[in-house]
Amino acid sequence: MILDGKKVRLEVLKNLKEKLLELDRQLGLTVIQIGNDPASNTYVNQKAKMANELGFNFNHIKLDSNITEIEVLSLIDNLNNNELVDGILVQMPIPNHLNSKVIQNAINPLKDVDGLTDINMGKLVHNVDTLIPCTPEGIIELLNYYNINLSGKNITIIGRSDLVGKPLASLFTNYNATVTLCHSKTNNLKHYTSNADIIVAALGKPKFIKADDIKEGAVVIDVGINRLENGKLCGDVNFEEVKDKASYITPVPGGVGPMTVAMLAKNTYKAYILKKNT
Ligand code: NAP
């Protein structure tokens, strides 16, 4: 069965729209982009589209790639102090002369809609309700929507990035799953994938997971977004091979991607509520 991210996204946004009607003002979301990376342009456009659809006050600040760290930190400080800005996000990647950790941690954790500050990551590990990274949150929402139980399941995640693998491992653990977090130095990866009830592929290698790598009836979540030479997008899973062996599988595109953008909207609303309650 296909886990349909587009359908669930619509459901999430519909529920959110109802909540937004009860607010006394528009939600404010600011995206800071540094430089002109083509993939970042696409991702920021998707965020702008979603924000406009929901009636957010969306501000896209595009900065020159030569900007200094002090200038970026000063901008973030202004946004932190702006009552009408609920969410702040710095689109990655940023130029090498800037320290991404320093810049991300400058964002007020209550406005950190990407959930990437050390404070929010720490809270996630400690299972304290907070803003969490959008892709892991979207994966959980998708699994919950299809009533896929996580408690006691063996879950193998391939990829240990701060954006996907690490926060997802904490989230799954908080849901009482038994998690194996694999990476490029993992020996005998197939041992871990073929014993998993749920596999998350987040390594950025086209069609890496084959039918032979999974057990019959496994749930397969494909996070990868890879552009092939023919211009088409594909995931980290060989969808055609794996779909008949898996019980559930996410397509690329149309699986995890739409959920990620929906979770940004949800996090912006959550940031508003968290700030109001402090
Ligand atoms: P990343 O920062 O490049 O991390 C990749 C991870 O995969 C690393 O932990 C790396 O191991 C591991 N890895 C690489 N090759 C491997 C191999 N052969 N065997 C086992 N592990 C391997 O990637 P990311 O930012 O997490 O993104 C991963 C993919 O997801 C990309 O295709 C990206 O475009 C996509 N993505 C999609 C969404 C969405 O909304 N759908 C959101 C974010 C990312 P080491 O740590 O040892 O280097």
The angle at the Cα of 144, spanning 237 to 132, to the nearest 5 degrees, equals 80
Average pLDDT score, the chain: 97
Residue 255 alpha carbon, nearest atom of ligand 1: 41
Alpha-carbon distance 263 to 74, whole Å? 27
Summarised one tens digit per residue, pLDDT across range 66-83 is 999 999 999 999 999 999
Determine what percent of the chain is predicted with pLDDT higher than 70: 100
Q: pLDDT by residue (tens digit) across 198-213?
A: 999 999 999 999 999 9
Residue 231, pLDDT above cutoff 90: no
pLDDT at 278 over 90: no
Please give all residues whose beta carbon lies within 6 A of any atom in ligand 1, as ranges: 135, 158-161, 163-165, 182-186, 189, 202-205, 223-226, 256-257, 260
Q: Whose CA is nearest to atom 34 of ligand 1?
A: 225
pLDDT value at position 170?
98
Q: Rounded CA gap, 132 and 115, in Å?
A: 4
State the Cα angle at 34 between 261 and 258, rounded to 5°: 10
Pocket mutation for ligand 1, best pick of 203, 208, 222 (most atoms within 8 Å of C-beta): 203
Percent of the chain residues past pLDDT 90, beyond the cut: 97
What does pTM read for this prediction? 0.97
Mean pLDDT confidence for 8-30: 97
Beta-strand runs (E) in the chain: 28-34, 57-63, 87-90, 154-158, 178-182, 198-201, 219-222, 226-227, 233-234, 248-249
Q: Which CATH number fits domain 134-256: 1.10.645.10, 3.40.50.720, 3.30.70.360, 3.40.1030.10?
A: 3.40.50.720
- How do residues 59-118 score in pLDDT, each as one tens digit? 999 999 999 999 999 999 999 999 999 999 999 999 999 999 999 999 999 999 999 999
Is 114 considered catalytic here?
A: yes
β-strand pairing of 57-63 with 28-34? parallel
- Centre of ligand 1 to C-alpha 182, Å, is 11
Looking at residue 200, its pLDDT comes to 98
Active site residue 210: no
State pLDDT tens for residues 143-191: 999 999 999 999 999 999 999 999 999 999 999 999 999 999 999 999 9
Domains 25-108 and 134-256 share a fold: yes
Is 64 known to be catalytic?
no
pLDDT of residue 110: 98
Q: Whose CA is nearest to atom 1 of ligand 1?
A: 161
Q: CATH 3.40.50.10860: does it fit domain 25-108?
A: yes
**What distance, in Å, lies between the first and last C-alpha atoms of the chain?**
42
**Ligand 1 pocket: which of 37, 140, 183 to mutate (most atoms <8 Å of CB)?**
183
Per annotation, catalytic residue among 33, 86, 91, 236? 91
Domain limits, the chain: 25-108, 134-256
